[in-house]
Structures are given as C-alpha cells and as structure tokens.
C-alpha cells in the first residue's frame, strides 16, 4: 500500500481559521438572541408514530422544537399519550426560559397524543390564547383505482 502522506497546515493558518469560525459563531448568537418575546405559537403534530412540537414567534420563525424521539422514547412508545405529555413538559420549560408566557396552540394530526399534550401545557402554567385544529382534510380525495377485471 505504501505510506500515506498527510499535508498539515502551518500553525498560523490554523489560528486564522479558528478566529474566523469563532467570530462567525458569535455573530450568529447575537442575531438569533430573541428580544424578550412574550407571545408565541406552539404547533403540535401528532401522528400514530410520534409527537412533534414546534415553538415559533408570531411571524412563524422557529425558536424551539422537540419530539418524543428527541426526548428518548423509542419505537411504538413515541406515539403514546404519556410521551406526548413529556414532550409538552419539555416544551413548556424551554418556553419559560425564553420568557414566553402566552401561546396559541395549533394541532395537526390524528394521533393519540393531542389532548394529553394540550393538558400538559395548561398544567405547566402557560397562558393559552386559542386552540386551533389545522389537520388537513381532503375535499374530494385521490382518484379511485380502476375496476379489477379477472
């Protein structure tokens, strides 16, 4: 096979690159720091397999997101009401850290974690302005298959 030659950059170049990365990271943190947002929207997407929650500001920019899989549930346990309530608890804690007190809740999906997630948010002390169901409903549906001829 032979020896492999690794090209190494001089220390000066490595220091310059590190400084660039650090300044870029500082700029991103300054830009993303919210200015004491009081209100937000929580989108709850509840399917048969998982429960996802996203916290956005009033314009729709994502601030925080979490899911049952992100917390540590695996397999079929992700779709349970218990997992959804734990997701809501984590979301409420993170929202409190950001200073959000009032939220609108938008629920999408047909999973079993819809109600338990809302109950957990209420119990954690968030003031709920409205609850809206935004589950998509087909108006006419897909075209049915052709008649089977045997």
Domains, the chain, in order of start with CATH, read: 39-133 (3.30.420.80)
Name which of 126, 74, 78 is nearest 100 in CA terms. Answer: 126
pLDDT in tens, 61-106: 999 999 999 999 999 999 999 999 999 999 999 999 999 999 999 9
Least confident of 28-37, 50-59, 126-135: 28-37
pLDDT in tens, 17-37: 767 666 665 654 444 555 678
pLDDT of residue 69: 93
Q: Which CA distances in Å does 133 have to 7, 103, 115, 122?
A: 58, 15, 11, 17
pLDDT of residue 30: 46
What gap in Å lies between CA 27 and CA 31, rounded to an integer?
6
Rounded to an integer, the average pLDDT of 117-143 is 93
Rg value, the chain, Cα = 23
pTM, to two decimals: 0.72
What is the residue whose two structure tokens read 């045997």?
150
């Amino acid at each position: 096979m032979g020896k492999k030659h690794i090209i190494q950059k001089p220390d000066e170049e490595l220091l310059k690159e590190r400084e660039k990365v650090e300044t870029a990271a500082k700029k991103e943190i300054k830009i993303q720091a919210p200015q004491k947002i009081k209100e937000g929207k929580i989108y709850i997407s509840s399917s048969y397999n998982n429960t996802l929650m996203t916290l956005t500001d009033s314009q729709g920019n994502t601030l925080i997101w979490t899911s049952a899989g992100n917390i540590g549930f695996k397999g079929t346990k992700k779709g349970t009401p218990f997992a959804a309530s734990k997701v809501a608890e984590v979301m409420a804690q993170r929202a409190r850290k950001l200073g959000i007190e009032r939220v609108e809740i938008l629920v999408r999906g047909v999973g079993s974690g819809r109600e338990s997630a809302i109950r957990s948010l209420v119990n954690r002390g968030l003031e709920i302005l409205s609850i809206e169901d935004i589950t998509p409903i087909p108006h006419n549906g897909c075209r049915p298959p052709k008649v089977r001829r045997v």
